[in-house]
Amino acid sequence: MWKKSEPEATVPPPQPQPAPPPRTSVQAARERAVIGPSIEIKGDLTGGEDLQIEGRIEGKIDLRRHNVIIGKSGRVQADIYGKVITVDGEVLGNLYGEEQIILRQSSTVRGNLTAPRVMLEDGSNFKGSIDMTSKESAAAPGHETRPGAAGPKPPAPAGTAAPPASGPGTGA
Amino acid sequence: MGLDALVRELAEESRYAILDLGPALGANVDFWSGFACRIHFADLYGSLAEAGFHAGGEEPLWDSALLRRVLPFEPGTRFDVVLCWDILNYLTQEQVTSLVAYLAGFCKQGTYLFAQFWLSPRIPARPITFKIVDREHLRYANRDPETRSWAFFQPRDINKIMEDFRVAGSFLLRHGIQEYLFVYRGGSSQP
């Protein structure tokens, strides 16, 4: 019934495929906007693509559906709203991550972090509060003990003004 | 041990406001993330050093303005847990007394305060950074081999400093540290 000896259909040997060309910094830059180290912006930033900041920003950054990277040379004094916020540089302000906030080893952050997931690498210099309540658990009945929006103020380094208190929930 | 006793008092489904007077560590954030909490890292020792303390020279004035600067909380803030670790060992009795009174202003009845006191007259030159491995294990992240003298609080001193708190648990560790879990009884220092 079955011809065991019938030769199986031969599969042609795999041909060597040319390796995909390495991603160049130009291509990476095309996938997200980059604010270079010599750029200084005062005001609000909004947009529809990922953003990498290597320069200085003062104001507010609102990219809730996109990723925000504060590069090693980035200096930001602003509240930041993003999907995933990654900090390598310095931030004075509150961070609101829709999905995650990552503070790298080289980061210095003074402010409050709000995101479902927060990752601090050892060596990161952070002072402030971390609220890891997801939207789902925030809606559930809980044991919240604080009245209203009272809570820790974002700490300000000596000689620096406290970050703007705009944005939701600065309370502990 | 003290941490385990604290965690046994906490319910995972509840939401807690935690004040950690130590520096922010990823391992500790990961640990507390299981409690859907809001945790505030104050790095008190680092903030005091920035303010000029422990620098060897004349120390700045220790007053309420300083405490408001290094621990800047909005009026009405109430924490459920305060983690002091071993930081109180690095202050004088007067400084600890005023610090605890200040912190009591941000506690509510039932707030837990976790603190460690050395039992030896010499202690590491700087506070130890404790990484939480799990509820029963802490790891020293940076124990300074240099030592210094300290106020060397006796149990009666601790009772006096913590007069608005009751002792919920006390645990002697092998390393010569006595851990205390205090509970705030409520007092007259609410701001």
Assess whether pLDDT exceeds 60 at residue A159: no
pLDDT of residue A125: 95
What is the pTM assigned to this prediction?
A: 0.80
Best of A127, A135, A136 to substitute, by most chain B Cβ atoms within 10 angstroms, is: A127
Q: What is the ipTM of this complex?
A: 0.86
pLDDT of residue B107: 96
A171 touches chain B (CB under 8 A): yes
Among B14-28, B50-64, B164-178, the minimum mean pLDDT is found in B50-64
The shortest CB-CB distance from A147 to any of B36, B76, B79 is to B76
Q: How far apart are CA A53 and CA B31, in angstroms?
A: 31
Which of the 8 DSSP states describes residue A121? -
pLDDT tens figures, A89-141: 999 999 999 999 999 999 999 999 999 999 999 999 999 999 987 554 444 44
End-to-end Cα spacing for chain B: 32
State chain B's mean pLDDT as an integer: 90
Tell me the three state secondary structure of residue B29: helix
Kindly list the distances between the CA atom of residue A75 and the CA atoms of A111, A126, B121, in Å, as whole numbers in the listed order: 14, 15, 44
Share of chain A above pLDDT 90, in %: 56
The answer to whether A112 and A168 have CB atoms below 8 angstroms apart is: no
A135 touches chain B (CB under 8 A): no
The answer to whether B88 and B103 have CB atoms below 8 angstroms apart is: no
pLDDT tens figures, A21-74: 665 555 555 578 999 999 999 999 999 999 999 999 999 999 999 999 999 999
CA angle B78, B47, A129 (to 5 degrees): 40
Assess whether pLDDT exceeds 90 at residue B183: yes
